[in-house]
Amino acid sequence: MTTPLFNWLDKRSAGVLLHPTALPGDFGIGSLGAEAKTFIDFLAESGMSYWQICPLGPTGYGDSPYQSFSAFAGNPYLIDMMSLAEAGLIPDQELGPLLFLSSDTVDYGGIYKVKWTLLRRIFNTFTKDNHKKANLPYGDFEAFCQENADWLDAYAFFQALKSHFDGVSFHEWPEECLSYSSALASEIFAELATEIEAHKFYQYLFFGQWKEIREYANGKGVSIIGDIPLFVSGDSADLWANPALFQLDKKSHLPSAVAGCPPDYFSKDGQLWGNPLYNWHKMKRDGFAWWKNRLAANFKLYDVLRLDHFRGFDTYWSIPSEAETAVAGAWLKGPGLTFFEEIKKAFPEAKIIAEDLGELFPSVIKLRDETGLPGMEVLQFAFGGEADNLYLPHNHVANSVLYPGTHDNDTSLGWYQNASAEEQDHVRRYLGISGHTIAWDFIRSSYASVARLCIIPFQDLLNLDSSARFNRPGEAQGNWSWRFRKNQLSKLRSESSAYLRKLADLYGR
């Protein structure tokens, strides 16, 4: 038997799934400030070793972290404003408009209207009268720009142009701006110089604050699991700056086919994501250099990476660009093991999780086993069928990561309340429970599983119903907005941290 490429998941442990936007606070969205550190304190107190998050990239229409303007940049919405006020970059009273935003959900519309204006004021203060020497703990701004120029220059120009053209997709920009190379040669580059530098500054703030959060977590014994979407957005700096790496129509320069997945558990019409597809043949010629740069950037942010839609490296669902649903697609061959052999050479100590959910061909399972990457188990997929269901705990394997549900699932309580009578009966008989505390029943079952890593959605720790669901796949609006309140975490810490630590001790996590 061939030795797997990667073999890193060798200890039993547990963690929590929570995107930073869901952290509590008064400014309309969770941020990289004190509340993030308080959450990390809870993880450490509870014997947790991991904090898993969704992608941190800047979001646009639909607010999905899986549809970002960049595969490299961070989301300025997450910047902690209080830290900047304390550094003297903005008076406390000028943050007042943020206080009118919701503390119960993420107010994306309000954030868009208010936070960009405040960030620009902070940039103006930073640049005025040589304030680049301001006492910020994030290092030298010019050095940051130079170190990240390979992606930052194009991203900042892209965002400056997007603002200049009122936020429309770059495909609708004037001809001279349709690609990074042509835009650099146009007069507009010089016109937008200040705006470009501003967007670089926002990234400087984001990466500086995130570095503090990661170092704080690592200091508490908590590792960060980041999430990498397989595909990039159709309206992104990645496509704009690197068109040759994607499957585009030679005349229109628009995607000739787009990504998605066929009909499945989540949708009878499949999922039409609309992302451009990679030109894998082109990427292979230079040893997947763009992907290596992407992974290198992400390993600066995270301790572990989850590769979303892993199956796409084996075979991916290609949908004609004019299709209205994902039904009329076809499976095409991805880069396969060659890709991961190149990644192993570049990152020999890489810790990667394969999101291997959905319709899996034998070739996908073979690829996962050849790479040695741990796959995923989801308890909500286990019940209502036969004993050979791979998601039932007695069928779990050690080299895997177990979730009661993911960010795409309902909460465990919501799932049970909406499950069929057959599923409810099955789960009660299988776990030997009444069903009255299903979220905690799933948590205990996750801890007991042979899967070496279990990740619990934070909503399940709070025993919340479907109103706390984070995402409903296939629905373009109304997702990604759930947040918890400070008192909920305080109550959880006082009532359940000790119990969670006992569970970790009992099951060797």
Residues with catalytic annotation? 308, 355, 408
Q: Where are the beta strands (DSSP E) in 135-229?
A: 223-228
Give the max Cα distance, the chain. 71
HEC states along 266-322? CCCCCEEEEEECECHHHHHHCCCHHHHHHHHHHHCCCCEEEECCHHHHCEEEEEECC
Q: Which long-range contacts (CB under 8 A, 24 or more apart) does 87-94 make?
A: 87/134, 87/135, 87/136, 88/134, 88/135, 89/122, 89/125, 89/126, 89/131, 89/134, 89/136, 90/118, 90/121, 90/122, 90/125, 94/118, 94/121
Chain centroid, CA 453 distance in Å: 19
What tokens were used for 307? Answer: 């590769």
Quick one: DSSP state of residue 457?
E
Give the separation between CA 8 and CA 21, rounded to whole angstroms: 29
Give the separation between CA 107 and CA 118, rounded to whole angstroms: 16
- Asked whether 258 and 273 are in contact (CB, 8 A), the reply is yes
Count of CB atoms situated within 10 Å of the CB of 382: 22
Q: What is the dihedral of CA 309, 311, 315, 318, to 10 degrees?
A: -20
- Residue whose pair of structure tokens reads 């910020």 in the numeric block: 136
Count of CB atoms situated within 10 Å of the CB of 468: 20
Count of CB atoms situated within 10 Å of the CB of 312: 22
